[in-house]
Chain A
Amino acid sequence: MSTDSSTIQSPASAASISNVNALFQNAKKYEELNVIGTGAYGTVYKARDLHNDGHIVAMKKVKVALTEDGIPLSTVREIALLRQLEAYRHPNIVRLLDVCHGGQPMDRDQQLVLFLVFEHVEQDLDSFLKRAPGPLSENRIRCMSHDILSGIDFLHSHRIVHRDLKPHNLLVTSAGRVKLADFGLAKTYDTEMKLTSVVVTLWYRPPEVLLGASYNTAVDVWSCGCVLAELHTRAPLLPASSDSEQLHAIFRLIGRPPRYEWPDSVSIMRDSFPDYPPKDLAYVIPNAHPHALDLIKRMLVFDPAKRLTALDCLEHPYFTDEPIS
Chain B
Amino acid sequence: MPYWYYDKKDLQNTPSFRDGINNDTENRYRKEGARFIIDTGSKMDLGYNTVATGVVYFHRFYMFHSFRTFPRYITACCCLFLAGKVEETPKKCKDIIKVAKSLLNEEKFNTFGEDPKEEVMTLERILLQTIKFDLQVEHPYSYLLKYAKCLKGDKTKLQKMVQMAWTFVNDSLCTTLCLQWEPEVIAVALMFLAGKLSKFEVVDWNGRAPKHNAWWDMFVEDITMELLEDICHQVLDLYSIQTQPSGGESPPLPPAPKPPKNEKKPPVTPPISASPAAPAKTPVKNGAEFYPYAPPPVAYTAPPPRLPPPPRLPMGLVYDAPPARFVASVPPPPLVPPPFLRARSPASSPPILSAAVIAIHCSDCVKVFSLCELRVTKPGRSQSFY
Contact = CB atoms under 8 A, between A and B. Distances in A.
Contact of A17 (B1, B119, B136): B119
A69 to B, nearest CB: 5
Interface in A1-24: 1-2, 4-6, 9-10, 12-14, 16-18, 20, 23-24
Contacts of A101: 125, 128-129
A263 B289 CA distance: 64
A81 B128 contact: no
- Do most interface residues of chain A lie in helix, strand or loop, or is the interface mixed? helix
Interface string B58-92: 00000000001111000000000110011010101
B93 interface: yes
A209 interface: no
Contacts of B119: 14, 17
B90 A73 contact: yes
Contact of A73 (B85, B121, B136): B85
Contacts of A86: 1
Interface residues of A, number: 38
B128 A69 contact: no
A155 B111 CA distance: 44
Contact of A13 (B86, B90, B92, B111): B111
B133 A9 contact: no
B276 interface: no
A17 B121 CA distance: 10
Contacts of B135: 76, 79-80, 83
Contact of A2 (B1, B85, B134, B247): B247
Contact of B93 (A4, A69, A103): A69
A33 interface: no
A218 B273 CA distance: 58
A100 B129 contact: yes
Interface stretch (B141-149, B151-159, B251-259): B251-259
Contacts of A36: none
Nearest to A98: B132
Contact of B85 (A12, A23, A76, A81): A76
B1 to A, nearest CB: 6
A77 B86 contact: yes
A23 B126 contact: yes
A112 interface: yes
Interface string A92-114: 00000011110110000000100
B110 interface: yes
Interface residues of B, number: 40
B123 interface: yes
B136 A81 contact: yes
A13 B133 contact: no
A201 B161 CA distance: 59
Given A5-B250, A6-B254, A13 B124 contact: no
Contacts of B210: none
Interface string A256-290: 00000000000000000000000000000000000
B124 A71 contact: yes
A17 B123 contact: yes
A5 B122 contact: no
B305 interface: no
Interface in B93-129: 93, 110-111, 113, 119-126, 128-129
B379 interface: no
B68 A6 contact: no
Given A2-B256, A69-B90, A76-B85, A13 B70 contact: yes
B309 interface: no
Contact of A1 (B93, B129, B248): B248
A83 B134 contact: yes
Contact of B251 (A9, A20, A73, A98): A9
Contact of B70 (A17, A76, A103): A17
Among A23, A66, A69, A86, which residue has the most Cβ atoms of chain B within 10 A?
A: A69
Contacts of A24: 129
Nearest to B130: A23
A2 B254 contact: yes
Contacts of B126: 17, 20, 23
Contacts of A84: 136
Interface in A39-87: 66, 69-71, 73, 76-77, 79-81, 83-84, 86-87
Nearest 10 CB-CB pairs, A to B? A80-B135, A99-B133, A6-B254, A84-B136, A2-B255, A2-B247, A76-B85, A1-B248, A73-B85, A80-B136
22 contacts: A1-B247, A2-B247, A2-B250, A2-B255, A4-B248, A5-B251, A5-B254, A9-B71, A9-B251, A10-B111, A16-B69, A17-B70, A17-B126, A23-B126, A76-B85, A79-B133, A80-B86, A80-B136, A81-B136, A100-B133, A101-B129, A104-B125
Interface of B: 1, 68-71, 81-82, 85-86, 88, 90, 92-93, 110-111, 113, 119-126, 128-129, 132-136, 247-248, 250-256
